[in-house]
């Protein structure tokens, strides 16, 4: 735990409004990710960023936007174009594991967004 923070923990918005979810990490990780979690759906990748000022769409990017102006920060905006925005949103960051030859991901505590 620790190192990756998300705020707020709970967020309520009216339909038609854009909302921005915060994600900050002080782990000096290069890569950061946003996932959406729905019941029975597991974790689905929205966007990811390998370096500052660069990001790529994941599997379900429609209706979302991101920015990566600083290494420590990767905010996610849920736009009014997202048809079903109510979900649990998880941010993660990763470091390359030399032993595994792969990237271990560490998750933030999540933000539960409810749109009515």
Task: State the residues that interact with another protein by CB under 8 A.
Answer: 1, 31, 33, 35, 40-45, 48, 50, 56, 58-59, 90, 94, 96, 100-110
Nearer to another protein by C-beta: 10 or 16? 10
Nearer to another protein by C-beta: 18 or 38? 38
CB of 16 to another protein, least distance (A): 28
Long-range contact list for 41-49, CB < 8 A, 24+ apart?
43/90, 46/76, 46/89, 47/76, 49/74
């Amino acid at each position: 735990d620790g190192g990756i923070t998300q705020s707020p923990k709970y967020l309520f918005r009216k339909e038609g409004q854009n909302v921005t979810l915060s994600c900050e990490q002080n782990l000096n990780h290069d890569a950061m990710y946003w996932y959406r979690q729905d019941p029975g759906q597991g974790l689905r990748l929205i966007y990811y960023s390998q370096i500052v000022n660069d990001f790529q769409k994941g599997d379900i990017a429609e209706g979302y936007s991101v920015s990566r102006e600083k290494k420590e920060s990767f905010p996610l905006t849920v736009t009014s174009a997202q048809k079903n925005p109510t979900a649990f949103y998880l941010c993660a960051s990763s470091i390359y594991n030399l032993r595994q030859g792969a990237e271990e991901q560490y998750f933030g505590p999540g933000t539960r967004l409810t749109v009515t």
